[in-house]
Structure 1
Amino acid sequence: MGLLGPKAPPEKAGHVFELLRVTIALLILIHGAYRLAMGLVEPFGIWLDSLGFPFGYGWAMAVTLCELVGPALILARRWTSFAALGHAAILTLGMVLVHWPAGWFVVGGGRNGMEYSVLLIISLLGIAWVYWPERRSA
């Protein structure tokens, strides 16, 4: 028994973690697929231009492609840590630009806040940590 109660059996903890990995990847994939399918890359690029980002459309397309390729890599367990860290960085910038100014709550105590972004970022950092390549001894 651990300090805070019984520990989860390792096999159950592993299954829960895999469910988290798949769910996070699918949420990000849906986000990018929706933006691409609905023709929202250009408005995203225009918004980035309005914030002073050079080549706003290029950045918007790069983010969208990352939201399509990165989750596929995470789902396939290929370059998982790097894809997760990349998405954590993208979400952190989005949180600073969009959600932080709106406060903490997504709904209820506010609107469009950063609580969901924090959850995704922490989840992605956990995925990156678990899948970080082990160093091989010489």
Structure 2
Amino acid sequence: MYTSVPAMKLIRYIVAYVFITSGVMKLVNEELANYFMSLGLPYPILLLNLVAFCEVVGGVLILAQKWVKYATIPLIVIMVVAILLTKVPILHTGFLVFAFEARLDIVMLVLLIILNAKFPK
């Protein structure tokens, strides 16, 4: 017998999966760490660890359905900054290239906004 998973629960699982794996990979994958450090941000190692921590903790809170509204706020900020730092600079190559490169970031941003809007404080 088939039982469906409610859409919001599925969105929570997907968003949690993406942010938990992304945060862990920032900490264990040297190539990702080097890319992060090449962005020219101040205190890159501290910021890398802070972003990774926020992603893992936020993902776990979303997965556990605890403080989802609050957990999504720093993740929304992370996604907006990621788009501004890594995707907007390629706009000069054309809008379609930008749209293609930013597609997953935009989807995650929209899913975070949906979670933020649907869960009470």
Given candidates 12, 26, 30, the residue that maps to 2:21 is 30
Do structure 1's residue 75 and structure 2's residue 66 form an aligned pair? no
Higher helix share: 2
CA contact (8 A) 1:41 1:57 kept: no
Output the CA distance in 2 between the equivalents of 1:100 and 1:90: 14
The 5 Å alignment of 1:15-94 reads: 15-40=6-31, 42-44=33-35, 46-48=37-39, 51=40, 53-94=41-82
* Aligned twin of 2:103: 115
**Mapped contact 1:101–1:113 kept (Cα < 8 A):** no
Corresponding residue to 1:97 among 85, 88, 92: 85
SS at match of 1:113: helix
- TM-score, normalised to structure 1, is 0.71
Which secondary structure does the structure 1 equivalent of 2:97 belong to?
A: coil
2:66 aligned counterpart, secondary structure: coil
Distance, in Å, in 1 between the alignment partners of 2:116 and 2:103 is: 20
Identity %: 19
- Give the number of the structure whose alpha-carbon radius of gyration is greater: 1
RMSD between superposed Cα atoms in Å: 2.2
State the alpha-carbon separation in 2 of the partners of residues 41 and 101 from structure 1.
19
> How many residues are aligned here?
113
Flag the structure with more relative contact order, 1 or 2, with Cα contacts below 8 A and sequence separation at least 6.
Answer: 2
Gaps of 5+ in 1: 1-11, 104-108, 134-138
- TM-score, structure 2 as length reference: 0.80
Helix, strand or coil at the partner of 1:78: coil
Provide Cα deviations, 1:24-74, integer angstroms capped at 9, x if missing partner.
1101111111221223575255324xx2x3212111110011111110011
